[in-house]
């Protein structure tokens, strides 16, 4: 019974990962962006631009906070290393993905692909 549950958990994780990759590929191919704009369609163009700009500023501030805090955390992991139990390597290299990824998210807000 335990092996069946482990197999189901592994199958669920694999399916979730596969669906995520396919969704990202489809969005990239069709130039889609996840943004809920139905409630904005009832507003004037000026009000819509103000609200979207405000939301983008909040998103940028969130990205900057995550980058700053994660860099501080990664730097502390160089000072006080946290090693993997099985592979015996410093996990700082795994945790570096967070500030790098959010930096690229921040950077994409200023690139114009049109």
105 and 55, same structural domain? Answer: yes
Token duo for residue 24: 């990202």
Tell me which residue range forms the domain holding 109: 36-114
Question: What 3-state DSSP class applies to 30?
Answer: coil
Mapping DSSP to helix (H, G, I), strand (E, B) and coil, where does residue 35 land? Answer: coil
Q: Could you give the number of structural domains in the chain?
A: 2
Matching residue, tokens 């549950």: 5
The helix/strand count (H/E) of the chain reads as: 4, 0
Same domain, 68 and 42: yes
Q: How far apart are CA 37 and CA 45, in angstroms?
A: 12
pTM score, whole prediction: 0.59
Give the pLDDT confidence score for residue 63 in this predicted structure.
86
Q: Which two tokens stand for residue 82?
A: 């946290």
114 confidence band (pLDDT: 50, 70, 90) = very low
- pLDDT (tens digit, 9 = 90+) per residue, 33-88? 666 666 777 888 899 889 888 888 898 898 889 889 999 999 998 888 888 888 88
pLDDT at 29 over 90: no
Quick one: tokens of 107? 């950077």
47 and 13 within one domain = no
Look-up of token digits 């959010």 = 102
My answer on whether 17 and 55 are in the same domain is no
């Amino acid at each position: 019974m335990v092996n069946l549950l482990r197999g189901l958990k592994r199958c669920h994780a694999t399916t979730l990962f596969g669906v995520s990759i396919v969704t990202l590929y489809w969005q990239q191919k069709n130039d889609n962006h996840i943004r809920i704009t139905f409630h904005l369609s009832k507003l004037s163009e000026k009000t819509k631009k103000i609200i979207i700009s405000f939301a983008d500023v909040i998103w940028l501030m969130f990205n900057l906070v995550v980058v700053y805090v994660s860099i501080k955390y990664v730097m502390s992991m160089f000072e006080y290393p946290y090693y993997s139990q099985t592979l015996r390597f410093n996990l700082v290299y795994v945790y570096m993905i967070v500030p790098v990824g959010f930096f690229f998210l921040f950077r994409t807000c200023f690139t114009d692909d049109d």
